[in-house]
């Protein structure tokens, strides 16, 4: 099973069209990323603030399949993947009642903060990538078997 973050849509997430404001969907995906890191034992405060290494997002994309409303119970699953020695990407799928309502991707590079030069992914991130990738693949295999 891929890591899944459960998140209710807050009033603040919505806009005057009555649904979640599009850019906020990426913020919700990032919350799932943070929770996944924390679940794997990474200290979030140190990870995102004050560390000499950072993982800025260089690309993001998102597809909106259905509107999300205040009070909706979102299940945000994430499947990270190593792309090279200094980068990885995360695929997110957001569902409401088992119906996919949005899909997104964020691509991250590892940099040394002061120089902003690229740097190899540290071990704790490699472990996180491996754990969550394996989990996601397990889910994919199960899905394939169900289809058969």
Q: Which residues make up the interface to a second copy (CB under 8 A)?
A: 8, 10-12, 14-19, 21-24, 26-27, 30-31, 34-35, 38, 43-45, 47-50, 54, 56-64, 67, 69-72, 106, 116
**C-alpha–C-alpha distance, residues 87 and 113, integer Å:** 15
Shortest distance in whole angstroms from residue 80 CB to a second copy: 16
DSSP 76-99: EEEEEEEEETTEEEEEEEEEETTE
Shortest distance in whole angstroms from residue 117 CB to a second copy: 13
Q: Which is nearer to a second copy, 35 or 93 (CB)?
A: 35
Residue 125 near residue 87, CB atoms below 8 Å: no
Indicate if 97 belongs to the active site. no
Q: Which residue has the tokens 């399949």?
A: 65
Q: Find the catalytic residue in 13, 15, 97, 135.
A: 15
Q: Which residue has the tokens 């200094």?
A: 86
Q: Which residues are catalytic?
A: 15
């Amino acid at each position: 099973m891929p890591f899944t973050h459960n998140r209710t849509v807050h009033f603040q997430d919505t806009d005057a069209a009555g649904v979640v404001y599009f850019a906020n969907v990426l913020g919700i995906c990032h919350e799932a990323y943070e929770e996944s890191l924390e679940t794997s034992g990474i200290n979030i405060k140190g990870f995102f603030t004050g560390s000499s290494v950072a993982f800025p997002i260089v690309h993001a994309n998102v597809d909106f399949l259905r509107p999300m409303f205040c009070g909706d119970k979102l299940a945000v699953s994430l499947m990270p993947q190593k792309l090279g020695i200094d980068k990885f990407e995360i695929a997110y799928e957001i569902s409401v009642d088992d119906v996919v309502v949005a899909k997104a991707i964020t691509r991250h590079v590892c940099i040394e903060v002061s120089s902003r030069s690229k740097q190899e992914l540290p071990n704790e991130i490699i472990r996180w990538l491996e754990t969550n990738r394996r989990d996601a693949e397990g889910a994919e295999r199960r899905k394939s078997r169900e289809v058969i």
